[in-house]
Amino acid sequence: MKTSHGSRSPAFESPEDAYHQFFRADSAKDAEGWAAVMSYPHVRVSARGTGLYFETPVEYAAGASWSAREATGWVRSVGVEPVRVHESADKVHLAGGWTRYNANDEPILRNRVTYILTRIDGSWGIQARFGTDSFREGEAVDASAPIDVVREHLNRLAAGDFDVAGSSVSHPLVDVGIGHVDRYRNHAQVVEGLAAAAGRPRSVLDVHTVQAGTRGAVVAATWEATDGARVQAVLLVGRPEGAWRIGGRSIVAP
């Protein structure tokens, strides 16, 4: 369930440095440069219920391809200005995203993504990406359902009802740490992982949407843990098969 990897190069002094280099390398179709922006293992989780996992930069670079995008007329991607949602010394949640452009500088696709950046051996990199993957500019979205799912999930954790809490997630559930990623592939693993996780809620203080599309949302939550610590998290919620379920989470603790 858990894998980890060591350092990477080059060094990025801030989360935003790594974020912006992600788009520069992508638009340049620089596979090795793109891979160097990540922390490993690296994972991309989609609200559509799909995901990508890369253990090493070599694996990431080998899988890089721009042909599908180029078939749509794509020539470059521009990142939206990122906003820090939560932060600690070695982990930051950045609300960002991108717009893809064609050769006439016309937008062809937009998306909103929350990037989980971690600092390993002094350098920042993108450990995970949580994609709403259903964003449309200017479209009104009712995000009450994913908020309700997250709130109920946290309340069940606070009550110690891990079985019911585990029923609100999809498989695999991705839990993003610093230099490691847990992937819980079935209900039994989810329940075991939730019961063993540090920072269990005692009382839920806040739940709100960070980014939302028609079929996916990134929800931010803050709670008081059983040890009294104040814990913050982002959770990716999607409905690939109709029901809203949590597909990924990342926690920032003191």
Query: In the predicted model, is pLDDT for residue 246 greater than 50?
Result: yes
- For residue 9, the model assigns a pLDDT of 58
Instruction: Compute the mean pLDDT over every residue in the chain, rounded to the nearest whole number.
Output: 95
How sure is the predictor about 1, in pLDDT bands with cuts at 50, 70 and 90? very low
pLDDT in tens, 166-218: 999 999 999 999 999 999 999 999 999 999 999 999 999 999 999 999 999 99
Average pLDDT over residues 225-241: 96
Query: In the predicted model, is pLDDT for residue 6 greater than 50?
Result: no
- H-run or E-run covering 150: helix 144-158
- For residue 215, the model assigns a pLDDT of 92
Residue 130 Cα distances to 63, 136, 155, 246, 248, angstroms: 19, 17, 23, 11, 7
Collapsing DSSP to helix, strand or coil, 64 comes out as coil
**Which domains, ranges and CATH numbers included, belong to the chain?**
2-131 (3.10.450.50), 144-252 (3.10.450.50)
pTM: 0.95
